[in-house]
């Protein structure tokens, strides 16, 4: 149980284009999903918290107009990187917290974004 999927696992795009990453909880309902960014050999950096049916809460320093988050259902959240630039190249990981849980987060396998 507690499986979270991400799609795509890897994407290469050209500078200036937009990329959408999907995060799905496969066998549970997730009221809250989280989006993280991870640079090589570094820990996870929380970008935003996404609650189903409401606007995402972004961490300080994260541009909400650049990283668009939509959490339209209890099993799906999407992150769209708009007008991507090479500095946006990174490993993006989502996690989901089961409805009713206080703390456990289950992570997706991550999406490697490369902007050329």
Q: Is 76 in the site for another protein (CB under 8 A)?
A: no
Beta-bridge partner residues of 51? 32
Q: Is 102 in the site for another protein (CB under 8 A)?
A: yes
Q: Which of 11, 62, 76, 107 binds another protein (CB under 8 A)?
A: 107
Interstrand relation of 106-107 and 90-98 (parallel, antiparallel or unpaired): antiparallel
Residues 6+ apart with CB under 8 A from 39: 45, 90, 91
Q: Report the nearest approach of another protein to the CB of residue 77 (Å).
A: 14
Q: Which of 46, 62, 68, 76 binds another protein (CB under 8 A)?
A: 46
**Which positions touch another protein (CB under 8 A)?**
2, 4, 6, 32, 34, 41-44, 46, 49, 91, 93, 95, 102-110, 112
């Amino acid at each position: 149980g507690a499986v979270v999927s991400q799609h795509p696992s890897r994407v290469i795009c050209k500078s200036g284009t937009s990329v959408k990453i999907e995060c799905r909880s496969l066998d549970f309902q997730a009221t809250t999903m989280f989006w993280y960014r991870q640079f090589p050999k570094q820990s996870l950096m929380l970008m935003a918290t996404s609650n189903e049916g409401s606007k995402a809460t972004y961490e300080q320093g994260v541009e909400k107009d650049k990283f668009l988050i939509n959490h339209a259902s209890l099993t799906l959240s999407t992150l769209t990187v708009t007008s991507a630039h090479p500095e946006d190249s990174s490993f993006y990981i989502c996690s989901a917290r089961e409805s009713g849980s206080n703390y456990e987060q289950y992570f997706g396998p991550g999406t490697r974004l490369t902007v050329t």
